[in-house]
Structure 1
Amino acid sequence: MLGSAPSMEKTTRKLILGLVFLFPGLPVAAQQTDPDVIWKGDFEAGASSLTGHCSAGDDQWCEVETIRPQQIQVVADPVAQGKYAARFEVKYGDLFSYYSDSRSLMTGPPALWENEGNERWYRWQALWPQDWVGSYPKWDQLSDPSARSWAGSLVEWHHDANGGVEHGSAPLYIGAGDTDIWLCLVDQATSECREKISLAPLQRSHWHDFIMHAKWSSQPGVGYLEMWIDGVNVLPKHLTPNMYPGMRNYLVVGLYRNSRIGDPTLLYPNGQHVYGTGGAPGVAYLDGIIIGKTQQSVLNERPWGTPAPDAATSDGGTGSPGQAAPDADGGTGPQVGVAAMGYQLPGGGCASGGAQLAWLALPLLALAFTRRLRKLRTSLPGP
């Protein structure tokens, strides 16, 4: 037996103080939020993250565009960081208000609106499950097997007419097809992609880590985008207009696709259902969304190159999300750190965080003591 709790705590404190003395570079406190962070939408407030955060200075999300509760849920599994992530599901019939097309979307507070000339850094993690369907037969060109409709964007920057009339599709969409992650820059006049760029191969059931650097402008030669996925610069600085003249951009997240996808009444000439009879539900996940003024401000949440955990998720809209998360004050989601690893101590039993730190510290202290003793001996005069 190692001893009573008070004696163990005393021993732990001594060992930690010894470590700090011997290794002054060790961190002793959690890093504070970078002052250049503008906003976080990381779902860490649990289910209450999704709505109601509509005032200047608020983190998390303001409004959802849904008609059923299964469309957007906060879940404890899978997650890329922290305790919670968001699960998005869209299927045939998910039409919100008077808006076009099927959608499961969220918008945030005023901090997410971008004016001409703003320069911003964005970071988020996205996961498309193993059974993700990235494209569907185009409903009005069924005789052409090559004609496909995308299965939905997951992140977009929409346009706001500053009190005027909005027209055309959003200026920028990011999503996943059957084999790749793509970016679409839209021609306002046609609502079609004037550029569709393949960014990286899609790895299903893998948390892709995105970083995007944008200077927002409607002017050629002024606006630009840069993109990293999983630490790889997949889009070097790309000069291009990325907003519409006289309009602002604002961040929208969630699945958005053509309203005809999943129509159970649509048949091929032989009578076969084009999309099946279940509405062709699609599912994807987001986590860790953050906006900052500098690259470092969005990197501080997770050091560069530290991979997000993979998740063996197979959930292409089968209605089987991970455990729904309660609000943050009652959450018991997964934790990361020494205290959550449950090291097995000699003699059995699952150690508390303090005892774990003590056992981890002992080898380091012994090594440091041995080196100092050896140095002391070599410095003493001989006989």
Structure 2
Amino acid sequence: MQWSQPVRALAAAALLVVVPGATAADVADPVWSADPGRGTSVFEGVETKPGSVDVVEGGTAYRLRTSGRKQGSERVRVETRGHRTPDGAALRFTEGDTYYVGWRSKWGPLPTKDGDWVVLWQLKDYGSGAATPPLSLRARGDRLDLEYTDPAMRTTKLWDVPLPRDRWNDFVVGIHFSHDPGQGWVRFWYDGQPQHLAGKDQYPAATVRADFVTDKWGVYRSDGITGPATAYLADARVGRSYTEVAAR
């Protein structure tokens, strides 16, 4: 596999060694991976309010579906939550950790609406001090964006592209976890290419708000959007480097 110069440069900055011509056999194993053969036990939990999570595409991907409307105060969501290793332990991110999260997604059907949002991936904190998720990958109208929310609840759109539907796309998010926005940071790759986040290769961010952080995949939407929605997830991994989690 040949790595592009921008990817090599970013990897070097993260103290990674990317070897041109490296194969999958040369890449270290990730800390966690979502093996569909283990079903939903790979996640710390699933939230189907309402919805379902199934293994599809010949046992290679997860399908998360919902068609419900808001019931009471609960917004419609079908999401995975967190990561559980084969020994049953929950993998959680805390102050000082650096992790890379990689996955492939496909969405369709996916109703959207200008002025409303659908969260497709989010970094979510738990425990004392938990609030609005620090990072969210959202569909709004016909755009897909990555949004950062700081501790004062101010939001910044870091990145956006036309919303892809009915095709697979690759994502990697690199995160250094810290309560201090001068220490924490975010990096982002889309379809194997490093992306600028609000004009920066590495965006400074407070990525911990509470006791620990984990992430979620699926469909979680605001009240103005209805109708059937489906998110597909494959090759989800968590690792200590970009090369451990990038598409192979």
1:50 partner amino acid = T
**Is the aligned partner of 1:62 residue 2:44?**
yes
Contact 2:94–2:208, Cα closer than 8 Å, also in 1: no
2:206 partner amino acid = P
Q: Identify the residue that residue 306 of structure 1 maps to in structure 2.
A: none
Match of 2:224 among 250, 261, 271: 261
1:291-330 equivalences under 5 Å are 291-299=238-246, 302=248
Q: Identify the residue that residue 140 of structure 2 maps to in structure 1.
A: 177
Q: Provide closer, same or farther for how the CA distance between residues 210 and 167 of structure 1 changes in structure 2, counting only shifts above 3 A.
A: closer
Q: Identify the residue that residue 65 of structure 2 maps to in structure 1.
A: 89
1:149 partner amino acid = D
Q: Provide closer, same or farther for how the CA distance between residues 76 and 173 of structure 1 changes in structure 2, counting only shifts above 3 A.
A: same
Structure exhibiting the larger radius of gyration computed from Cα positions: 1
Q: Identify the residue that residue 175 of structure 2 maps to in structure 1.
A: 214
Q: Identify the residue that residue 77 of structure 2 maps to in structure 1.
A: 103
1:202-351 equivalences under 5 Å are 202-235=163-196, 236-244=201-209, 246-258=210-222, 260-262=223-225, 279-299=226-246, 302=248
3-state SS, counterpart of residue 245 of structure 2: helix
Contact 1:66–1:94, Cα closer than 8 Å, also in 2: no
Q: Identify the residue that residue 371 of structure 1 maps to in structure 2.
A: none
Deviation at 1:167, TM superposition (A): 4.3
Q: Provide closer, same or farther for how the CA distance between residues 31 and 99 of structure 1 changes in structure 2, counting only shifts above 3 A.
A: farther
In structure 1, what is the Cα distance between the partners aligned to 2:215 and 2:186? 15
**Is the aligned partner of 1:119 residue 2:98?**
yes
* Structure 1 residue ranges, 4+ long, deviating more than 6 angstroms after superposition: none
Match of 2:112 among 114, 134, 148: 134
Contact 1:133–1:177, Cα closer than 8 Å, also in 2: no
In structure 1, what is the Cα distance between the partners aligned to 2:171 and 2:158? 15
Segment drifting more, 115-124 vs 100-109: 100-109
In structure 1, what is the Cα distance between the partners aligned to 2:208 and 2:113? 26
Contact 1:261–1:280, Cα closer than 8 Å, also in 2: no
Contact 2:44–2:90, Cα closer than 8 Å, also in 1: no
Q: Provide closer, same or farther for how the CA distance between residues 67 and 237 of structure 1 changes in structure 2, counting only shifts above 3 A.
A: closer
Taking structure 2 as the reference length, what is the TM-score of the superposition?
0.76
**Is the aligned partner of 1:168 residue 2:168?**
no
Contact 2:149–2:156, Cα closer than 8 Å, also in 1: yes
Tell me the number of residue pairs that the alignment of Structure 1 and Structure 2 aligns: 218
**Is the aligned partner of 1:154 residue 2:120?**
yes
Q: What does the per-residue CA deviation read over 1:113-149, in whole Å, with 9 as the maximum and x for residues that have no partner?
A: 10111111111001122x432325xxxxxxxxxxx11
Q: Provide closer, same or farther for how the CA distance between residues 106 and 195 of structure 1 changes in structure 2, counting only shifts above 3 A.
A: same
Deviation at 1:99, TM superposition (A): 7.6
Q: Provide closer, same or farther for how the CA distance between residues 64 and 167 of structure 1 changes in structure 2, counting only shifts above 3 A.
A: same
Deviation at 1:154, TM superposition (A): 1.4
Q: What does the per-residue CA deviation read over 1:57-104, in whole Å, with 9 as the maximum and x for residues that have no partner?
A: xxx223211255x52221117xxxxx4211122333466xx9842211
2:232 partner amino acid = Y
Gaps of 5+ in 1: 1-29, 52-59, 78-82, 137-147, 263-278, 303-383
Contact 1:185–1:242, Cα closer than 8 Å, also in 2: no
Contact 1:156–1:252, Cα closer than 8 Å, also in 2: yes
Taking structure 1 as the reference length, what is the TM-score of the superposition?
0.51
Decide which structure has greater strand share: 2
**Is the aligned partner of 1:199 residue 2:160?**
yes
Q: Identify the residue that residue 39 of structure 2 maps to in structure 1.
A: 49
3-state SS, counterpart of residue 219 of structure 1: coil
2:111 partner amino acid = V
Segment drifting more, 98-107 vs 116-125: 98-107
**Is the aligned partner of 1:75 residue 2:56?**
yes
Q: Provide closer, same or farther for how the CA distance between residues 100 and 170 of structure 1 changes in structure 2, counting only shifts above 3 A.
A: farther
Q: RCO greater where, 1 or 2, for CA within 8 Å and sep 6 or more?
A: 2
3-state SS, counterpart of residue 297 of structure 1: helix
Decide which structure has greater helix share: 1
Q: Provide closer, same or farther for how the CA distance between residues 167 and 123 of structure 1 changes in structure 2, counting only shifts above 3 A.
A: closer
Q: Provide closer, same or farther for how the CA distance between residues 289 and 99 of structure 1 changes in structure 2, counting only shifts above 3 A.
A: farther
In structure 2, what is the Cα distance between the partners aligned to 1:135 and 1:156? 19
In structure 1, what is the Cα distance between the partners aligned to 2:35 and 2:137? 18
3-state SS, counterpart of residue 49 of structure 1: helix
